[in-house]
Amino acid sequence: MNKIWIVLLFLAAAGCLPKEELQFKKVRNINLTASGATPLLKGDLLLYNPNNKRMKLKKLDLIILLNGKEAGIVDQKLQQEIPAKDEFTVPMEVKISLKEIGLLDAISGILGGKKNTVRIQGKIRGSVNGMTLSVPVDYTEEIRIRR
């Protein structure tokens, strides 16, 4: 009898999950500015919800790599509604640590105007009907630092 309840509980939980996973598409409007004492990386994460159910975005858990070196961490809690069957953007902003990427590398990149490789890795977490879901992120783009 206990096995029947376990099977029924499993089937009920499976019915609460979305049929398809959220999809990370790309990062729009990505830019790295160095106007102040600390460079700032901004961008809009573009995602797509292929499901008929609305969801809730809970957390950005991302690591920012600049030219292969860890330059910042995005640990941002959210309560953003995710529309059903639609694309949506999530703004991201992170201060870049000059200590981690090396002061000389940062200064030469800013003054020299060279291209920098930005890589964003991690997960975006959301929920639907109380069930947690996770979307992997791995995005790379070459950009110039703006002063």
Domains and CATH numbers, the chain: 20-146 (2.60.40.1820)
Residue for token pair 């030219």: 67
**pTM across the whole model:** 0.76
CB atoms near residue 130 (< 10 Å): 8
In degrees, to the nearest 5, what angle opens at C-alpha 139 toward C-alphas 72 and 95?
20
Mean pLDDT, 10 residues at a time, the chain of 147 residues: 61 54 90 77 92 90 90 91 91 81 55 77 88 90 76
Res 47: pLDDT = 92
Q: H-type helices in 19-126, by residue range?
A: 98-101, 103-112
